[in-house]
Chain A
Amino acid sequence: MNKIIFTLILTILVVVTVMGCVTDQKNNQTNKYSQNNISFDYAENWRVANVTSPYAVAAVADPTTVQNGRPTTLVIIQKPPLTRGTNLKLAYENNYANFFNNTSYQKVSEANITLNNTKIYENVYTTNTAGLEKEYRVAWLSKNQKVYVILCSALKKDFDREQSNFDLVIKSFQAQ
């Protein structure tokens, strides 16, 4: 009888432990941002941030990475105005024509990708400001004849680790 009770308790403990681990692994829930005619998903532990950047319509950031009052891991959505006769490609090229000249920005890579039939121009660069090495991944895309720029940024040492969170925003981004 004692053996049966002990086996039962042990089984319950093992089941609870395994379930806990599985639940923890599957705990990759996301938050949804839906304001200013745009919507996207972002990491569960991230929060909406106040943004003062030009043309910015939304920003989310990881509150655990705040340094000197500002988060280092963040995503900002910007919507620059398009001048007449300019398309996404021209706007992208114009922006980076002199972007890396005489600045602290250093280009890492450039790519054109297609995601769900949406052309995306992507630029990755680094910067070192006041000893703070940061890396940026900027995705330019067009939705409803409007250009949206998704700026993903993190400390250089955290950049690779945050790619999944950046991908989450870029892949789920929608504009009305």
Chain B
Amino acid sequence: MIDIVSQKEKLIKRLKELETEYNQGYLPKNDFIRQKEYLSQQLEALEVADRVKRLQGKQGSEKSLDYWSEKEKENQGIVDQEEKEELLKKYVTKPQTIEKNPENGWLSNRAKIIISIILIVGFLVGTAFGVSVISKTSELSQVSMIVNDSAFPAKNITNITKNTTTTKKIYTNRTRLINRTVPSSTGSTNNSTTP
């Protein structure tokens, strides 16, 4: 096959050279026609031989370039496929089917019991807290408190309470009457009026 291809190439090359010589005027027309017919016949014969060999199924080393290139592609494809399968085997794992076990389920019986206990304890604690707050409030409402703070100073109060004092008539040695106000409380004031 390689021989046929190389011979075909040689014949094609020779035909091109012949045309070039003829175009440049180095070769007469009669010679050109004769040589061209000869080369064309040879080329045609080679192609016929090639076609016959293909039809006979003689593929061995004498196969067309297209065949070999396709063969190479097929081989490359097989290699790629193998690599791909290897990678899939290496990194991609099939998900394992999970068996539904009631003990290992999403909400196991143990979890249900724990949640129930938490709810019951929370309810009891909340109720106890509420009862204690209510009783505390009722206790507070019964508290009796006494307050005696004042915004007024003691002196002021004494002055204001002068309406509860008694008036005494005091005679001085000059026999002049002095109206002195004496508070009944302990805090004494000297609101004396002089004539």
Is B151 in contact with A149, judged by CB distance below 8 angstroms? yes
Min distance, Cβ B54 to any Cβ of chain A, angstroms = 70
Residues of B within 8 A of A74 (CB): 145, 147, 149
Residues facing B in A44-73 (CB within 8 A) are 45, 47, 49-56, 59, 61, 63-64, 66, 69-71
Residues of B within 8 A of A151 (CB): 149-151
Is B145 in contact with A71, judged by CB distance below 8 angstroms? yes
B52 beta carbon closer than 8 Å to chain A: no
Residues of A within 8 A of B151 (CB): 76, 78, 95, 136, 138, 149, 151
Residues facing B in A77-93 (CB within 8 A) are 78, 80-81
Residue of A whose beta carbon sits closest to that of B148: A52
A103 beta carbon closer than 8 Å to chain B: yes
Contact flags A1-18 to B (C-beta < 8 A → 1, else 0): 011001001000100000
Is A59 in contact with B147, judged by CB distance below 8 angstroms? yes
List 21 A–B pairs whose Cβ atoms lie within 8 Å, in order of A's numbering. Answer: A2-B105, A9-B115, A45-B140, A47-B141, A49-B145, A49-B146, A50-B144, A50-B145, A50-B146, A53-B150, A55-B150, A61-B147, A63-B143, A63-B145, A69-B146, A70-B145, A70-B146, A78-B151, A80-B152, A95-B156, A136-B149
The interface of chain B, by Cβ under 8 A from chain A, is 105-107, 115, 119, 137, 140-141, 143-153, 155-157, 160
Knowing that A61-B147, A76-B149 touch, tell me 19 more A-B residue pairs with CB under 8 angstroms.
A6-B107, A6-B115, A45-B137, A47-B140, A47-B145, A52-B148, A63-B145, A64-B140, A70-B148, A74-B145, A78-B152, A80-B152, A94-B156, A95-B152, A98-B155, A136-B149, A138-B151, A149-B152, A151-B149
